[in-house]
Amino acid sequence: MSGYLTTHVLDTARGCPAAGMKIELWRIKSDMRSLLTTLVTNADGRTDDQILPAEGFQTGTYELVFYAGDYLRAGGITTKGPLFLDVIPLRFGMSEHSHYHVPLLLSPYGYSTYRGS
């Protein structure tokens, strides 16, 4: 069995999926970052494809980068200065060949994540 990676984003302030958010997946090896893919969330806050499908899966360290600021601004959030949350990087490890699900629960002033199923 090979592993794969999925994600989704929920807007906890508005109580809905975060549609239209850009997400990047980077592989981290030593001090080098390599961009693997860029996707955008659909109406359900998920990506249409697995963010890292089985055929490209390798164990190691990865980083999901969520462009929360663009999403929040598009939803009408305005501030006099910079947004509290703009670009959210989540660095994590995948050490076994299984399904990894790394969601983001987002509000304008906080976020959380976990290894889901």
Q: The pTM is what?
A: 0.95
55-58: long-range contacts, CB 8 A cutoff, minimum separation 24: 55/2, 57/2, 57/3, 57/4, 57/5, 57/94, 57/97, 58/27
Right CATH number for 4-108 from 1.25.40.10, 3.10.580.10, 2.60.40.180, 3.90.79.10? 2.60.40.180
Domains of the chain, residue spans: 4-108
pLDDT tens digits for range 43-97? 999 999 999 999 999 999 999 999 999 999 999 988 888 999 999 999 999 999 9
